Amino acid sequence: MEKGFVLNRKDRLQAFCTEVAEARGLEVVEVELFRAGRREVLRIYMHKPGGISLDDCSQASHHLATLLDADDEFQNPYTLEISSIGLDRPLKTAADWTRRVGEWVRIHLAEEVEGHKTWIGRLVRTESDAAILVPENLETEIRIPYRAVQLARVDVRFEE
């Protein structure tokens, strides 16, 4: 981490997480920092194409704990949790949508698009303001504006 300027605690944690993730070919998706009783909880969600393994989490946790323990800002007791983003994480950001291109998604809408308020299909690409998917049992693409999305998640399929 660069020296010479002051970061708040969450920014410092984010910088450490990014350093650890980049060293291991991972992506930091979200960083949470909150108090639980007398301890702080540092919860970090990471991702990599093909999925993050338990070994990835363990190595990242060890590396991150080493950095945190050497930093004056993190000398109080804390619980460090490193996890994958999981299959059921809602798609919220542009990066979330882009990360899931090629996968099946279930989208619940606040307003109808093409006569439906729920769509299930394969996400084929993203645009700056919309997701493009091919709904199951159809061959045509439909455009779902992000502003119309109430909730979107990966639709887990166990294909043979």
Query: Which residues constitute the domain of residue 147?
Result: 94-154
Q: What is the DSSP letter of 51?
A: -
39-47 vs 27-36, strand pairing mode: antiparallel
Q: What percent of the chain has pLDDT over 70?
A: 94
Q: What is the mean pLDDT of residues 41-49?
A: 91
Whether 72 and 107 map to the same domain: the answer is no
Q: Which of 61, 84, 107 marks a domain boundary?
A: 84
Q: Indicate the number of domains in the chain.
A: 2
Residue 20 has pLDDT above 80, yes or no: yes
Closest CA to 143 of 158, 129, 157: 129
16 plus 75 within the same structural domain: yes
Strand extents, DSSP E, 48-135: 78-84, 104-113, 116-126, 130-135
What is the average per-residue pLDDT within 40-63? 92
Q: Does this model's pTM top 0.85?
A: no
Q: What is the pLDDT of residues 110-136, one digit of tens each?
A: 999 999 999 999 999 999 999 999 999
Whether pLDDT at 61 is above 90: yes
Same-domain check for residues 21 and 74: yes
